């Protein structure tokens, strides 16, 4: 198990060169694990810097959408694209362990989309994004939206070259998620509190959730939205449009 991201060691090719385990002792094992983790993140960060420079050169505003499974990311993306595609030029990268279900939903909006399946991997990385953009016309894009694998742990550590991480939290998940997964909320610029249309049917304390998010990230921007009803989406759209014009 990779302690950097939680993937199996095979995902990052951490096996010993001679193909069998060694008993170096607990301290040596810890040092090796730390070194491997630093190497993985170091390589990823170098590629992320390459991506970021390319996106900056092309004038593309890039967002990395992260959440737990079932938060409503894809529905939120669909609504955003349908409402704004006539004024902004979008492309989408869809990250999932398996299937192209979400990519097919995005393609139905008419927006260019690329599916990346990570297999056993629990997150996208900068190398995947570098190759995932190869089929897009980067000279004719305003925004690239990356829907990461549903996971509130692994994607927090991996820079993709984005301008901002946007964490989507649905009101069906519980208001304590920012405290349970602080790194994700600390690393995110925006929190979209989604599915607010369900609040009358739930025991969910919106103000407490916002307080918890600001406890781990005092500067986080919070939009209360319902991708289903459209409530609150206009403020999100204004933030998106402003970012794309920078």
Question: What superfamily does domain 39-244 belong to in CATH?
Answer: P-loop containing nucleotide triphosphate hydrolases (3.40.50.300)
- The secondary structure of 209-240 as a DSSP string is HHHHHHHH-TT-EEEE--TTT-TTHHHHHHHH
- Give, for all 246 residues of the chain, the pLDDT tens digit: 444 555 543 444 333 334 444 455 666 666 666 555 567 789 999 999 999 999 999 999 999 999 999 999 999 999 999 999 999 999 999 999 999 999 999 999 999 999 999 988 899 999 999 999 999 999 999 999 999 999 999 999 999 999 999 999 999 999 999 999 999 999 999 999 999 999 999 999 999 999 999 999 999 999 999 999 999 999 999 999 999 986
In angstroms, the CA 177 to CA 187 distance is 14
What is the tens place of the pLDDT at every residue in 113-164?
999 999 888 999 999 999 999 999 999 999 999 999 999 999 999 999 999 9
User: CB 23: neighbour CB atoms within 10 A?
Assistant: 7
pTM to 2 decimal places: 0.85
**């492309």: which residue's tokens?**
91
162 near 146, Cβ under 8 Å?
yes
In angstroms, the CA 150 to CA 104 distance is 17
Longest dimension (CA), the chain: 60
């Amino acid at each position: 198990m990779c302690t950097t991201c939680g993937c199996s060691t095979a995902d990052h090719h951490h096996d010993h060169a001679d193909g069998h385990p060694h008993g170096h002792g607990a301290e040596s094992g810890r040092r090796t694990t730390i070194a491997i983790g630093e190497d993985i993140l170091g390589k990823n960060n170098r590629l992320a810097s390459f991506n970021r420079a390319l996106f900056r050169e092309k004038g593309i505003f890039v967002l990395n959408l992260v959440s737990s499974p079932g938060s409503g990311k894809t529905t939120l993306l669909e609504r955003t694209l349908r409402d704004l595609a006539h004024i902004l030029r979008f492309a989408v990268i869809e990250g999932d362990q398996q299937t192209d279900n979400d990519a097919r939903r995005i393609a139905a909006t008419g927006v260019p989309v690329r599916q990346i399946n990570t297999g056993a991997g629990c997150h996208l990385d900068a190398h995947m994004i570098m190759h995932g953009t190869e089929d897009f016309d980067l000279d004719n894009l305003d925004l690239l939206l990356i829907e990461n694998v549903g996971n509130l742990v692994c994607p927090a550590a991996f820079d993709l070259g984005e301008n901002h991480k946007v964490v989507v939290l649905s009101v069906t998940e519980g208001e304590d998620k920012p405290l349970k997964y602080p790194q994700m909320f600390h690393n995110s610029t925006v929190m979209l509190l989604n599915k607010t249309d369900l609040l009358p049917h739930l025991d969910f304390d919106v103000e407490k959730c916002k307080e918890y998010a600001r406890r781990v990230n005092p500067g986080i921007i919070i939009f209360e939205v319902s991708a289903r009803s459209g409530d609150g989406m206009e403020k999100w759209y204004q933030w998106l449009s402003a970012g794309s014009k920078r």
